[in-house]
Amino acid sequence: MGIGVLFVGFFLLSCVVCVKGVEPKASPTCTFPAVYNFGDSNSDTGGISASFVPIPAPYGEGFFHKPSGRDCDGRLIVDFIAEKLNLPYLSAYLNSLGTNYRHGANFATGGSTIRKQNETIFQYGISPFSLDIQIVQFNQFKARTKQLYEEAKAPHEKSKLPVPEEFSKALYTFDIGQNDLSVGFRKMNFDQIRESMPDILNQLANAVKNIYQQGGRYFWIHNTSPFGCMPVQLFYKHNIPEGYLDQYGCVKDQNVMATEFNKQLKDRVIKLRTELPEAAITYVDVYAAKYALISNTKKEGFVDPMKICCGYHVNDTHIWCGNLGTDNGKDVFGSACENPSQYISWDSVHYAEAANHWVANRILNGSYTDPPTPITQACYRH
């Protein structure tokens, strides 16, 4: 397997109650001057591409018309968050070229985990930039940009830097944890995975506390996706036993683990609200939103959720999206389908832009959040 396959192929995408979103009428819209994001490939806007091998075409060509550092044909949920808040798309912290941090920065990298892993990116695609490192990077970013801002003598020197006073007014978003499950499925039994969850979630809570101690007050925390509904889970499966899959083709046991992770995450968020009394913390049920789409694909205008738009997958030959391989002695390219907007799965792991947009519309309006308020009201404590 080539490095390109590893870099893209193993960056796994980084559900409890569905409630109807309610827009508070008495409260004005929150004005977030910036967004700071922490996560994995679900929300990486160029970090892993800047650090290692760039994500190739046809990634990015649907919306950006070129590779954009995203594991998608176009925009990710974090991009729709920026649009909803009338902010520019987030520049990756690790990208040294063409960046603008005036309205936030993105510390997410494909393959990131909450808990640091003793693996290299060349083995299983696990990023060296685990959540604790992303927080260290944020701390350095905050201190360094403050220094540069204060030293700047001309307005144009400050134009791409965050205003120091605005860090306390920014929205801090987290979309990470799925790769911790991925590592668990590879290395542990289910009992061991369950036992690891409190430590993993405490590390996430510590990241939130770090930012809170520095003045951050507004947090938007995604739970993990329905892991068992990624088509890649079935690539090398033969003679699938009865009861292994649910009615939509998802691996039942993996989704049970993801649901347990999300239950514990929600409990930890509730505890955080008492530990950080001045914080407004929103728990976002991405699992429920994505599963709602998966279970209603035809009604919503999508093809079978287990069909893949980009890549070549025939029998036991699997050529990753954007990679060149061989099948029966012939060169084959992992190309994209003609209509990505009809697909949930872009490359068997990551969602296509249309599916990301569908999910974003339903989480950003508060339909799948606790408290059930839209992101434009996420500065209010409930």
Catalytic residue flag (residue 238)? no
Estimate the share of the chain in helix, then strand, then coil, as percent rounded to the nearest 5. 40, 10, 50
251 class by beta-carbon count within 10 Å (0-12 exposed, 13-18 middle, 19+ buried): buried
Before 33, cis peptide (omega within 30)?
no
Catalytic residue flag (residue 350)? yes
Query: Residues 156, 49, 45, 89: is their CA dihedral positive or negative?
Result: positive
Q: At what angle do helices 77-84 and 353-364 cross, to 10 degrees?
A: 50
Catalytic residue flag (residue 73)? no
Q: Cβ contacts of residue 49 below 8 Å, gap of 6+?
A: 55, 67, 69, 92, 95
Can you read off the two tokens belonging to residue 309?
């738009």
Candidate list 347, 348, 357, 367, residue with the active-site label: 347
Candidate list 41, 91, 112, 127, residue with the active-site label: 41
Candidate list 103, 222, 318, 350, residue with the active-site label: 350
Residue in 119, 268, 121, 265 with CA at minimum distance from that of residue 184:
119
What CA–CA distance (Å, rounded) separates 173 from 220? 5
Catalytic residues: 41, 347, 350
